[in-house]
Chain A
Amino acid sequence: MVWGTIIAAYLFLAGLSAGAFLTSSYAARKYPDAKTVRIVGRLISPIFMGIGLLLLIVDAEAGLKDPLRFIYLFTNFSSVMTIGTYFISFFMMAAAYIALMELLKKDTNKIVEYVGIVFAVATAIYTGFLIGVIGAVPLWNTAILPILFVVSAFSTGIAGTMIGSAILDKKVIHQVMSIKKIHLTLLISEIFLIFTMFLITSSTNESAAQSVSLLLSGEYSTLFWIGLIVIGLMVPISIEALELWNSSKFHQSQAGIEVAASGFQGITSTLITESAVLAGGFILRYLLLAAAVPVIFL
């Protein structure tokens, strides 16, 4: 693995950060009362991006020893990494500003928030394109990968935001049912995207077929089936679906929310579901890097 666990963690954190930003912007509009969700999303977004960038710096050994070199990252416009560096810079500035305003309890500038939304999406897409443009690794080199990464980014962003919100405010998570619906849709799409991607790449390319078999039945099959499919996707899909099913029985009244928050599905199920989603999001990226079989050139 040329790119290993550190890069997987970076891709995961960048996606999570972008997703949390989008979640908070959505919550701010759709649920003005669910302040906790908005605040948590806005605060964790720059924090996780920052941690991701630190990991990236640690992995780039030559730059770590001579940090001024990172300036050159902005120079090659034919490199997806350079373009991503711009996206992340704009996203980081917007996210940090919005988080600061939230801490100072001031109103945010709408334009900055829109800029943030645009660059959050760009950041999430970029994490997919970064590896997606590599012709040498057919498993990555598909148009589906960036879509998969965006879906997963948004999904992990929701998960991170919901965990934080649940810890701070038991009730709020039962207020934001449409977020749960979006989340469920994303998780189901993810399964669909993963298998479509495998089907298409492995039928057209020998190296990709090897990668896919490493995941489905080879070295990484346990992590793939148990870690990603069962824990990362099926468990959250089942719990989330059950919750939505149950919640449709309560009307969205204050009393209904109180009952939901105090019942067995207080915050435990949220914590389990969302942690599973986060684990799955990381495992997805790790597996894609680990199962990268290059084109056989001989």
Chain B
Amino acid sequence: MARYGMVIDTRKCVGCYACRVSCQMQNELPVEESYIKFYEKETGVFPNVKNEIIPVQCQHCEDAPCVSVCPTKATYTTKEGIVLVDSDKCIGCKYCMVACHYGARTQDHNTGVVEKCRFCAELVAEGKQPACVSTCISNARIFGDLDDPNSEVSKAIIKMNAQPLRPDLGKAKIYYVR
């Protein structure tokens, strides 16, 4: 069984928002709502400063706090390790939003359901790439099976020493090159 994950190379990311727009289209989100948020971080001291653009979305945590707090089991983890929300079970209590370390969830105010990045589970099931990955203009995103050592994503993680955003906050399935 595959265990899906992603690498995001922030050195390649130019902050063009293409991934965000394609995600909004894929998930039919209104303009003001999105599953990908952009953060900017400046590190270092002048003149050696580094300015990073860091796209953040659901990290598909193993042992995800959103899954354990969700009272209705609307949020669950699939066999492939993708964290999904069953929109027919969600009551919109927002407990998962409070519990997520990455602020990765948003509430759809038409339905009241809380949603987030789903690794485009339906595209992946057809053998395609998630929308953000196939749209990224600079190939900053790589998606695939973390359990397969020969997958592009596994190789990239090793080659570029990609790390989760905050390994201390639990195991995430998105790895960043920074």
- Chain A positions within 8 Å of B, measured between CB atoms, are 2-3, 56, 59-65, 69-70, 72-73, 75-76, 78-82, 85, 131, 133-137, 292, 294-295, 297-298
B89 (CB) vs chain A CBs: closest residue: A72
The 20 listed contacts between A and B (C-beta, < 8 Å) are A2-B94, A2-B97, A3-B98, A59-B94, A60-B93, A61-B111, A62-B112, A63-B93, A63-B112, A64-B92, A69-B72, A72-B72, A72-B74, A73-B72, A75-B71, A134-B98, A294-B103, A295-B169, A298-B41, A298-B54
Number of A-B contacts (CB under 8 A): 105
- Chain B positions within 8 Å of A, measured between CB atoms, are 39, 41, 54, 56, 65, 68-74, 87-95, 97-103, 107, 109, 111-114, 165-166, 169
Known interface pairs A72-B74, A80-B69, A295-B169; A62-B113 also in contact (CB < 8 Å): yes
Residue pair B98, A73 in contact (C-beta under 8 Å): no
Residue among B70, B71, B99, B112 making CB contact with A134, cutoff 8 Å = B99
B168 → chain A closest CB, angstroms: 10
A contact residues around B71 at 8 Å (CB): 72-73, 75-76, 79, 81-82, 85
Known interface pairs A136-B99, A297-B101; A60-B74 also in contact (CB < 8 Å): no
Residue pair B91, A2 in contact (C-beta under 8 Å): no
**Majority-rule SS of B interface residues:** loop
B contact residues around A78 at 8 Å (CB): 68-69
Known interface pairs A75-B72, A79-B70; A297-B89 also in contact (CB < 8 Å): no
A contact residues around B109 at 8 Å (CB): 61
Residue among A63, A70, A75, A133 making CB contact with B73, cutoff 8 Å = A75
Known interface pairs A75-B71, A76-B72, A297-B101; A62-B95 also in contact (CB < 8 Å): no
Residue pair A136, B101 in contact (C-beta under 8 Å): yes
B contact residues around A82 at 8 Å (CB): 71
Residue among A65, A137, A298 making CB contact with B39, cutoff 8 Å = A298
Residue pair A65, B111 in contact (C-beta under 8 Å): yes
Known interface pairs A76-B72, A136-B101, A295-B101; A69-B89 also in contact (CB < 8 Å): yes
Tell which of B70, B72, B97 has the most Cβ of chain A within 10 Å.
B72
